[in-house]
Amino acid sequence: MMEWVRNNPEVPEGAWCKDFGTFKLVVHEAMPSTFLEKHQPCFGTVI
């Protein structure tokens, strides 16, 4: 995740989710809001 963040990725506005394989990060309004386990479904735009 840190490498991905260092690359300054473009992300959509609003709620989005990024799957890192072992976990998923859910962001709402530019603030991380939830970490999900790999088997849990994402919500928001999946990037």
Averaged pLDDT for residues 9-19 = 92
Q: Find the mean pLDDT for residues 17-28.
A: 94
What is the spatial distance between Cα 40 and Cα 30, in angstroms, rounded to a whole number? 21
Residue 46 lies in a domain: no
**pTM for the whole thing?**
0.80
Q: Is residue 47 part of a domain?
A: no
Q: E-strand spans in the chain?
A: 16-19, 23-28, 31-37, 45-46
Contacts of 23 (CB under 8 A, 6+ apart): 35, 36, 37, 38
| Structural domains in the chain (count) | 1
**pLDDT tens-place string over residues 25-47:** 999 888 888 999 999 999 889 99
Residue range(s) defining the domain that contains residue 8: 2-39
